[in-house]
Structure formats: C-alpha cells, structure tokens
Structure 1
Amino acid sequence: MAFQIDGLSLIEKRMVNEQALLADLVDAINAWMEGGRGRSLSGLARRTGVAYSTIRRIAQNESVPHPYTALAISEVVMATHPRLEFLKKHFPTIGNLMEECYPTKLELEPNGEAVQKYLRMEPHNRIFNIAATVRGTNRRAIQSLCGQVGLDALDQMLDEGILIELSEGTIKYTNDSWTHSNIEEALSQVRHSTQHFDKNLIGTVGASLMHATGSIKREKIPEVKELVLKFIKDLSALKNDEASVGDIHFFCDLMYSLYDRSEWAPQEERNS
C-alpha cells in the first residue's frame, strides 16, 4: 500500500525524536538486508529513487533522513503492519490516516491475491512461471533472461513471500507447481505467454505453433475434447516424472472452444 503525498501537509514539521527515527530505520534496513540473498544498499537506492550516498549514510547511522526519504525507504524495507507502526510513531498524521482510511486492507495480503497481482506484471509473470517448477531457478538465470529489472522484480516477490530463496541459491515458488482455477486468470496467462513466445525457435524442437479451425458432426465434438484432455494428461505425466526433471524451462498453453455455443448448447439452454 502506498500513499501519494503532495507538499509537506501530511508530514510533521518537527520530529518527536530524530534519533529514534534514525535508529528504527537503521534496524529496518538491516533486517531487510538480512532477509534475502542479493539485497544491497545499491539495490535499495534503485528501488527507492534515493541517492546511494544518502542510503549509505543513513544505514551507517550517520545522517537523519529527510521525511520523504524515510517514507520511501519504509515502503521497501517494511511490511504493511511494521510500516504502519513506524508511521504512527514518527509521522502520526500519515500513520493515523493510513489506519483510518484503509482499515480493511491492513491485514496481511493473502498469498493468492499477491500472486495474481504479480502475474499481471512483467517481467514478474515470466520469473514466477520459471520459479514455479520442480527445479526452480536462480539469480544468474533471471539476470541473463531479464537483466537488472528482472532482479528488482524478483526482490519484490521475495519481499512479499511469493517466492523463496533457498540457502544454495535456488529460487522457487512455495509450491512445486501451480494451476489456474479462474477462467479470466488463465486467459490472462495465455496473453502473457504470447509475449514470452520466441519465434526464432520455430523449426527447432524448442517451439511449436498451431492454429486450427474445423466444422465436424455434433457427435464428434466429445472426441475433440478427449484429444485435448489426453494431451494435458500426457504432458503432466512427462513433466512430473522424476526421470524427466531438468534445467530447461518451457511453457505450453492449450485452448479449445466452439465459436458459437448455441450450436452445442442443450435445447433448454438455447430456449432460455
């Protein structure tokens, strides 16, 4: 949750205790740094838009931050509830407003909702899909695929507990695999997959693309559905076979539908 602030109207002119503010911010920065591999002051500077030299002086307990700087840092290094307490303590006008205006949003975000938030974003979607496999991924692979923006996206998902980073450096989703149960979310994923598709792999074993239409007898429609289901079962069996698990990540989207549901719908549905 973030607040857009114009001017200094919501920021107290006088700090209750500047040294207490600095101490709490230093503790939060240290906890954030220790909470995930690859976190650094330079990374914090990039994510907050605060100069690295300023971040370094604050982290070394050498400089009391400007209110805007403290707010920017708190958005990155603190979860919702600790940040609320931090704001209520040092910036009570903002903290109390946050608590008053958003009381229903201050509970920890359900993991499922957070996942859906990041699945709508890039390169978060690509990184999540690669991590949500049996083998997972690592920072070097993400940097190679997505660059620094990919590492920043990774840190965001690690911060919210969407992905986890194991001691040996493997990055994984909290489950080994995942599926969509919501139609709109599944269709959204298909749209993302069209962006991920590498046309240069056409003609190799690394990619395949097909679009087909047809018109067949009504009694043959179940056979089409059965072909689709068989492919899904066969692919799931292959990728979940321990003997098949490896380091090469892939994606596959399969879509089948009638153009006109009234051609198939039961008579009572067509008459409704």
Structure 2
Amino acid sequence: MVDEQSLLKDLVDAISNWLEGGRGRSLSSLSRRCNIAYSTIRRIAQNESTPHPYSALSISEVVMTTPQRIAFLKKHFPTIGDLMDECYSPMIRPEANEGALKRFLAREPHNRIFNMAATQVGTHRDPINRLAGQLGIEALEEMLEAEILVEQADGTIKYTHDNWAIGNIEDTLEQVKHSVEHFDKSLVGTDGASLMHATGAISEDAVPKLKILIRNFIRDLNTLKNSPQSEGSVHFFCNLMYSLYDKEEWTGQEGAQS
C-alpha cells in the first residue's frame, strides 16, 4: 500500500530541488518534459494533490538522478524499485557516458546544440535560444543535468571532453541524417554552404583513388579547423560520403568472396 502523504512529500522536495538546480527550469518546462498537464504539475508541486502512480513515475524520471529515482521507487513502489536496483545499479556512472550521449544525439534540438558545443570555442545560450527557442534551452538544461555539457563561469557551454569523434558507422550515418535537416538552403550560392552530388563509372584501378580524395580532404579540413589562425565563433558542419552502387562490379574489395 502506497503511503500517499510520504510519496507526495518526497516528490515535492525533489521538484523543488530540481527547480533550484538550473537556470531556465520551470513547472511549465517540467510539464512538457513529463507530458503531464501544467495544472496537475502545479497542484503536485504545491503539495495540493497526490499524483497518480504513472504521473509520479514520469516526474521522477526528470527531477531525480538515477540513484535518487531507484531509492524513491524502492520506497514507494518496491516491485519496480527492486528490479531497477538489480538491473541498473551496477551500470550507474557519475560521469557523462556514451549511452546518454547517443540518446541526445538522436534527438533535436539536442543534436544541433551538442555539435555546436563540442568545438574549441563552444557556444552560448543566446545562439541556442535564437536557433531553437525555449525548446532549445530545455534541451540544453537536459544535457547540462546529464553532465554531457558544462556551462563555464563566463557563460561558455562546452562538451565535457576536450574532443569528440565518431568511430561507429551507424552513428556516423545518423549524424549525416541530422545534417540534412540542418542544411540551410538559403545559404547556397554564398560562402556559407555548398552542395554537390556526383555519379560516374570508372575503372577498378581508379576506385581506390576515391578514398584517397576523401582522406586528403579530411586531412586538409582538420588542418584548417585546428589552426589557431582559423579559430573563431562561426560553427559549421561538413559530411563526405562515397560508395559503389553495385559492389559485385568491383573485385578489389576487401573480404570479397571468390
């Protein structure tokens, strides 16, 4: 049997601590993130209404860290709490982790914000607000709370590590998909954007030269963006891709079957 008064008190305290824990947090943003009506959230936060178990679980996912949520569930919903404790406690890490980063990179506007922050100069709240409005600020707060991003004393927002790279093909392809959404067609014809697509049919001996072209470009691009003379505040993205339409046409592929 759930002790409703104890449940409500723990939830009210958690909501209060969450609201005080970061700029831009509000009951309305909590309402949107939980997908619970604002009026319901307000009554719960003001200690006026005991939440339905579903609402309590949804709120706990936002306002509590994983260890806090497990303790909350074990106290008020032991069956769920014990299961989470058994399955998830060994995997809890206090630092930013690959799983959390992958979840954020799959979402918008989180993806755009992260890619702007994971640079030498980072980003700030003003451009995030300009590009994505209040949803962008809320996405930023989520990544700050998860310690994927950090906000420095001067307001600069950066990734928690010094650099970032993708080594997984599926993750890279996912980033390319997001880049298609980010592409600003109005910049075509200026130095702010360029777009091309090419097809052709070449000899087998020329196929490896495609890879050399890509590698040379990546090398030159990295040299440019890492040069102190080029460092600045203009964020950009660039994707490169080539492949064969029919791999059976080329016998020089690694691992090709005889």
- Scaled by the length of structure 2, what TM-score is found? 0.84
Pick aligned residue for 1:199 from 185, 189, 193: 185
- Alignment check: 8 A CA contact 1:33 1:40 kept: yes
- Alignment check: 8 A CA contact 2:118 2:159 kept: yes
Pick aligned residue for 2:199 from 213, 216, 236: 213
Question: 1:188 corresponds to which residue?
Answer: 174
Higher mean displacement: 116-125 or 86-95:
86-95
Deviations 1:46-66 (A, max 9, x none): 323445566556556x44632
Pick aligned residue for 1:65 from 50, 54, 63: 50
- Alignment check: 8 A CA contact 1:36 1:165 kept: no
Deviations 1:6-36 (A, max 9, x none): xxxxxx3x41x72x44443344234323433
* C-alpha deviation, 1:194, in angstroms: 1.0
Work out the CA distance in 2 between the residues paired with 1:180 and 1:121: 17
Pick aligned residue for 1:172 from 132, 142, 158: 158
Question: 1:3 corresponds to which residue?
Answer: none
Higher mean displacement: 239-248 or 31-40:
31-40
> Within the alignment, does 1:39 sit opposite 2:25 as a pair?
yes
Work out the CA distance in 2 between the residues paired with 1:145 and 1:254: 25
Amino acid at match of 2:203: K
Amino acid at match of 1:46: R
Question: 2:131 corresponds to which residue?
Answer: 145
Question: 1:108 corresponds to which residue?
Answer: 92
- Alignment check: 8 A CA contact 2:111 2:178 kept: yes
SS at match of 1:147: helix
Work out the CA distance in 2 between the residues paired with 1:269 and 1:94: 48
- Alignment check: 8 A CA contact 2:143 2:149 kept: yes
Q: 1:55 to 1:267 in 2, by over 3 A?
A: closer
Question: 1:8 corresponds to which residue?
Answer: none
Q: 1:51 to 1:187 in 2, by over 3 A?
A: closer
Amino acid at match of 1:141: P
Pick aligned residue for 1:227 from 213, 220, 225: 213
Amino acid at match of 2:50: P
Work out the CA distance in 1 between the residues paired with 2:56 and 2:254: 64
* C-alpha deviation, 1:253, in angstroms: 0.2
Work out the CA distance in 1 between the residues paired with 2:254 and 2:28: 65
- Alignment check: 8 A CA contact 1:136 1:170 kept: yes
SS at match of 2:158: strand
Work out the CA distance in 2 between the residues paired with 1:118 and 1:89: 30
Pick aligned residue for 1:79 from 61, 65, 86: 65
Identity %: 56
Work out the CA distance in 2 between the residues paired with 1:80 and 1:158: 15
* C-alpha deviation, 1:246, in angstroms: 1.6
Question: 1:156 corresponds to which residue?
Answer: 142
- Alignment check: 8 A CA contact 1:81 1:106 kept: no
- Alignment check: 8 A CA contact 2:24 2:138 kept: no
Higher mean displacement: 104-113 or 37-46:
104-113
Question: 1:5 corresponds to which residue?
Answer: none
* C-alpha deviation, 1:145, in angstroms: 0.8
* C-alpha deviation, 1:197, in angstroms: 0.8
Q: 1:221 to 1:22 in 2, by over 3 A?
A: same
Work out the CA distance in 1 between the residues paired with 2:108 and 2:225: 25
Amino acid at match of 1:108: I
